[in-house]
A and B are shown apart, each in its own frame.
Chain A
């Protein structure tokens, strides 16, 4: 077992590895309830941004080795790469995901990690980063990154301003520009529960889908030490309605414009006959973790006690039925 290098200074050749990934890679002896099918690495720590939900934010007092609910011990990159290659070969992981924290020099450091990974393995690689421009994105793709994710996190400008600070226009503009320049190679994240309405969330998911941007849903998680530590996560039913909205949109089964909403902006109807909707939702796939293929990020934003906002594994028929019943009962027509 490799010792994490917490007690040493943060070296340029180190990466942080999510504790679940570290267990799958054989870096840490840890029992995990559901193993991650993607290896999650964090590059850098203590962000220069100040997002209210984030443990890595400038003013957050959460642990430096934390992102969302997860702890990320640090290991030498040279030890991590061969283990990722082996885990990919054995089928334990299907992807490697770099979470880049915006720190000075993060672009160079990310490229160095990508090059090392590309030399060591054919594993599909994606990078979630605060790119400063289209060139940053293009360079990563040229180095063999499959997808670059520019996480807007917020469904609308007012939510973005409240939670992430200014620059909505600059960053959402870059996302649109990148989507046009690199079709099929760009992704984004949407956090449900930051004060957006479901109508805003659905419109955002539709717009991103139309742009060819892959979307991944997260449930807001109040992390102690962050600005939003005192706020509530979304209700399960609201999150499920957003998952269903995303599932219908990305599978071309419905468009956000045909949804109907309550006065509070909650989804009241998807404009799809109930029988058809129930049939589509029967398998439970709509409630699985969304985003890149092979990404299940177990317990990233849920307590093991539930609710399981994003199922990291196939649902049992009973679980799928319960989730669908919750959604169906909340619709008005």
Chain B
């Protein structure tokens, strides 16, 4: 594999992942700087779950539905805090969302909604981003939800009957340790998932996992490479939620070198790696699933 650094060449799994990419995809990669998409929390900063990895932290940075800045956005991520059942209560806000949907594309990140809710949002759902978890203990201990992997499977399958659904798998969700990620990939593969976004646990101040380390870099790259090999002809992207700084500087070029199809807010090293590997770079400015 011309151009790849020694560490990738020396790792059979990583090398295989790059070969799989070469076999199945054009030499192109997509990088996103998602400035044209604004994230909206329909519940403001409120969340009934207050999960161990987030505690509502990431809601605070989102826009409210009445924020005039939304008018200038080309697309929106419709998200928010969850109720006790892991659902974002979108129905009370459907009127406001429907008005914003005119002329915009909407990516919905709404958790374990029921079928009636899916039917109601269907006219406005360009895509649904669905967090998929492959471990019952993680669902209970991190999300505090009395749900199981089967509930996630059933919801994912139900949503897919009505909309394009892109599963997201968080590597290291259980406080930086790998628990159900491989099972999640196995299930998603057996369900024939046709897109995949991988994200990485971020230790976040003010949360139960604030003192945790992000998952070990080699384990993350192994998992990314495995995903590449297991989903040979499915676009696999590295999503926006992952640690920044030095960690990202190290992770992103390796993600390119093990054959991912796209990265959001890539570190500079990823751009250089793509150039070195002869990949044509396409830049986008919206949510990576839009």
The number of chain A residues touching the other chain, given as a range, is 20 to 34
Task: Say yes or no for A284: interface residue by CB 8 A criterion.
Answer: yes
State whether A293 and B136 are in contact (beta carbons under 8 Å apart), knowing that A91-B191, A121-B190, A184-B146 are contacts in the complex. Answer: no
Q: Tell me which residues from 285 to 333 in chain A have a Cβ below 8 Å from any Cβ of chain B.
A: 285, 288, 292-294, 314-315, 320
Whether the pair B190, A85 counts as a contact (CB closer than 8 A) is yes
Task: Say yes or no for A59: interface residue by CB 8 A criterion.
Answer: no
User: Which residues of B lie under 8 Å from residue A292 when comparing CB positions?
Assistant: 150, 154
A184→B141 CA distance, assembly (Å): 11
Whether the pair B116, A284 counts as a contact (CB closer than 8 A) is yes
Residue in B closest to A320 when the chains form the complex, CB atoms: B116
A283→B92 CA distance, assembly (Å): 12
Whether the pair A89, B192 counts as a contact (CB closer than 8 A) is yes
Whether the pair A147, B160 counts as a contact (CB closer than 8 A) is no
Task: Say yes or no for A126: interface residue by CB 8 A criterion.
Answer: yes
Task: Say yes or no for B23: interface residue by CB 8 A criterion.
Answer: no
Q: Smallest distance from the beta carbon of B74 to chain A beta carbons, Å? A: 31
User: Which residues of A lie under 8 Å from residue B66 when comparing CB positions?
Assistant: none
Contact with A along B139-183 (1 / 0, CB 8 A): 010000011111101110110110000000000000000000001
A245→B186 CA distance, assembly (Å): 38
Whether the pair B148, A285 counts as a contact (CB closer than 8 A) is no
Task: Say yes or no for A274: interface residue by CB 8 A criterion.
Answer: no
A95→B186 CA distance, assembly (Å): 16
Task: Say yes or no for B117: interface residue by CB 8 A criterion.
Answer: yes
User: Which residues of A lie under 8 Å from residue B160 when comparing CB positions?
Assistant: 91
Whether the pair A283, B150 counts as a contact (CB closer than 8 A) is no
User: Which residues of A lie under 8 Å from residue B98 when comparing CB positions?
Assistant: none
Task: Say yes or no for A183: interface residue by CB 8 A criterion.
Answer: yes
Task: Say yes or no for B101: interface residue by CB 8 A criterion.
Answer: no
Task: Say yes or no for B114: interface residue by CB 8 A criterion.
Answer: yes
A89→B160 CA distance, assembly (Å): 13
Size of B's binding interface in residues, CB under 8 A: 31
Task: Say yes or no for A146: interface residue by CB 8 A criterion.
Answer: yes
Whether the pair A89, B116 counts as a contact (CB closer than 8 A) is no
Residue in B closest to A85 when the chains form the complex, CB atoms: B190
Among A91, A183, A252, the most chain B Cβ lie within 10 Å of the Cβ of A91
User: Which residues of B lie under 8 Å from residue A212 when comparing CB positions?
Assistant: 146
Q: Smallest distance from the beta carbon of B180 to chain A beta carbons, Å? A: 12
A288→B153 CA distance, assembly (Å): 18
Q: Smallest distance from the beta carbon of A247 to chain B beta carbons, Å? A: 11
Whether the pair B150, A314 counts as a contact (CB closer than 8 A) is no
A214→B148 CA distance, assembly (Å): 11
A237→B186 CA distance, assembly (Å): 44
Among B119, B147, B148, B192, the most chain A Cβ lie within 10 Å of the Cβ of B148
A147→B192 CA distance, assembly (Å): 24
Whether the pair A95, B150 counts as a contact (CB closer than 8 A) is yes
Residue in B closest to A288 when the chains form the complex, CB atoms: B115
Whether the pair A88, B119 counts as a contact (CB closer than 8 A) is no
User: Which residues of A lie under 8 Å from residue B83 when comparing CB positions?
Assistant: 251-252
User: Which residues of B lie under 8 Å from residue A315 when comparing CB positions?
Assistant: 116
Among A37, A212, A293, the most chain B Cβ lie within 10 Å of the Cβ of A293
Whether the pair B190, A294 counts as a contact (CB closer than 8 A) is no
Task: Say yes or no for B211: interface residue by CB 8 A criterion.
Answer: no
Q: Smallest distance from the beta carbon of A171 to chain B beta carbons, Å? A: 22
When the two chains form the complex, which single residue of B115, B149, B154, B192 contacts A90, counting CB atoms closer than 8 Å? Answer: B192
State whether A91 and B116 are in contact (beta carbons under 8 Å apart), knowing that A122-B187, A124-B150, A294-B154 are contacts in the complex. Answer: no
Contact with B along A167-199 (1 / 0, CB 8 A): 000000000000000011100000000000000
Task: Say yes or no for A94: interface residue by CB 8 A criterion.
Answer: yes
When the two chains form the complex, which single residue of B119, B120, B154, B190 contacts A293, counting CB atoms closer than 8 Å? Answer: B154
Task: Say yes or no for B85: interface residue by CB 8 A criterion.
Answer: yes
Q: Tell me which residues from 81 to 121 in chain B have a Cβ below 8 Å from any Cβ of chain A.
A: 83-85, 91, 114-117, 119-120
A-B contact pairs, 11 of them (CB 8 A): A89-B190, A91-B160, A121-B190, A122-B183, A124-B149, A184-B147, A185-B136, A251-B83, A284-B116, A293-B151, A315-B116
Residues of A within 8 A of B (CB): 37, 85, 88-91, 94-95, 121-122, 124, 126, 146-147, 183-185, 212, 214, 251-252, 283-285, 288, 292-294, 314-315, 320
| Shortest 4 CB-CB contacts between residues of A and residues of B | A124-B150, A283-B116, A294-B154, A293-B154
